[in-house]
Amino acid sequence: MPSVKNTITFLLGQALLATGSPVDVEKVEKRQCPKIHVFGARETTAPPGYGSSGTVVNLVISAHPGTTSEAINYPACGGQSSCGGVSYANSVVQGINAVVTAVNNFHNSCPNTQLVLVGYSQGGQIFDDAFCGGGDPAEGYGNTAVPLSAGAVSAIKAAIFMGDPRNIHGLPYNVGTCATQGFDPRPAGFSCPSASKIKSYCDASDPYCCNGNNPATHQGYGQEYGQQALAFINSKLS
């Protein structure tokens, strides 16, 4: 879909051609910027788009008419030929950078829009790293600061992580039966500055966000927890 910024630029140009008069940019932006915008990030090897994050993204859109959305454009790869052979670590780093660019740019264009993040598996990991900071040394991302702008962080009202490999037992926003950790866990004692805005879903039999052996569990969070996630998001939106 065309970006809000490009749409605004086009409308300004058309209005100027039609009237020959300056256009009130602030008024145009208010008309074009949605009340709510959702970012979705897909899991490893899912084709470009929302992947499994789309279940919750669509629930939010259905519950809030006029909501817009966009998928984070990143490799979502783990070395497989189907996604270009990009290593998992490189994909995560590219993903974090893509999140920062997309979210900061949108917030700069629409500073009053409420933002929601929905990430699935590796998509949850890149949102986790971008929103909470702390770095991701196992994947070669050494920046421990929160890379998103302070304004963007404030605009993010809710973040949903499903099957996040950074999961570790004991985080205040955890939901599900996992009592251990994922394959790239946060360090013991980690604290996310935006913890109150997050819910992270992981069950014990998941081999990626926990230490289970049932890959099917990893694909089931949208169906199992989607309505619960929507209720949490709704509680955070104004």
Active site (annotated) includes residue 121: yes
Closest C-alpha among 197, 200, 92 to residue 154: 197
Closest C-alpha among 56, 55, 141 to residue 98: 141
Helix (H, G, I), strand (E, B) or coil at 172: coil
Instruction: Please tell me the distance from the alpha carbon of residue 68 to that of residue 58, in angstroms, as a whole number.
Output: 10
Q: Which of 52, 69, 109, 121 is catalytic?
A: 121
Q: How many Å separate Cα 45 from the centre of its chain?
A: 17
Which residues are identified as catalytic?
Answer: 121
